[in-house]
Amino acid sequence: MKARVSIYVAASLDGFIARKNGDIAWLDDHNNGSSEDYGYIQFMDSVDALIMGRNTFEKILTFGQWPYGDKPVIVLSTQALRMPERVPNTVRVMTTDPATLVESLSAEGAKHLYIDGGNTIQRFIAAGSADEITITRIPILIGKGIPLFGTLDRDIKLKHIETRLFANGFVQSRYQLIQQT
């Protein structure tokens, strides 16, 4: 059975996931010290493995402690990567296309995959390999940066599942991606 593939991401109201230099401090700055996790822990508890790109992996390494414990993480990269000692051996570097990776991880028993990182999210959506996307819109305009969505060669239809509004103005919407043949 094919694993469910989910995207869970925050973006500025103008559609950016980070500044051009990769800075995401505006996310924490706007959170105002809230202890709200916006459903992230429950989501992560449902995930068997994470898939991210090299840039996202390198950004996560700047956070200090490895945030994913022993959960399997696949880093998509065409370049060799040096793994710091604090990174568990459950992290693998691979070069493959989204459909092949989902098929492979499904065959290994994964039931729910989490896709993270701008280019990786865009690749999975373009390939028709994502099932669901949860976007938390942060009420800030940053003007320029790394866009959540890139250009597409076709329309991607979405079905709205739910929207939640948080006291700090964050708006979280979940959609099913409608795959068209």
DSSP string, 37-67: -TTHHHHHHH-SEEEEEHHHHHHHHTTSS-T
What integer pLDDT is reported at residue 180 of this predicted model? 57
Cα–Cα distance measured from residue 30 to residue 167, given in angstroms and rounded to the nearest whole number: 12
CA distances from 177 to 116, 118, 126, 129, 145 (A): 16, 17, 11, 9, 25
Return the HEC string of 60-116: HHCCCCCCCCCCCEEEECCCCCCCCCCCCCCEEEECCCHHHHHHHHHHCCCCEEEEE
Cα–Cα distance measured from residue 111 to residue 92, given in angstroms and rounded to the nearest whole number: 18
What integer pLDDT is reported at residue 4 of this predicted model? 97
Helix or strand (DSSP H, E) at 118 = helix 118-126
Domains parsed from the chain with CATH numbers: 15-178 (3.40.430.10)
What integer pLDDT is reported at residue 127 of this predicted model? 93
What integer pLDDT is reported at residue 81 of this predicted model? 85
Chain CA centroid to CA 36, Å = 19
What integer pLDDT is reported at residue 94 of this predicted model? 94
pLDDT by residue for the chain (181 residues), tens digit each? 899 999 999 999 999 999 999 888 888 776 666 677 888 999 999 999 999 999 999 999 988 888 999 999 999 999 888 888 888 899 999 999 999 999 999 999 999 999 999 999 999 999 999 999 999 999 999 999 999 998 888 899 999 999 999 988 899 999 999 975 5
Q: Exposed e or buried b for every residue in 107-124, given b needs 16+ CB within 10 A?
A: eeebebbbbbbbebbbbb
Phi-psi group of 96: left, alpha or beta (phi > 0 → left; psi -120 to 50 → alpha; rest → beta): beta
What integer pLDDT is reported at residue 100 of this predicted model? 96
What integer pLDDT is reported at residue 30 of this predicted model? 66
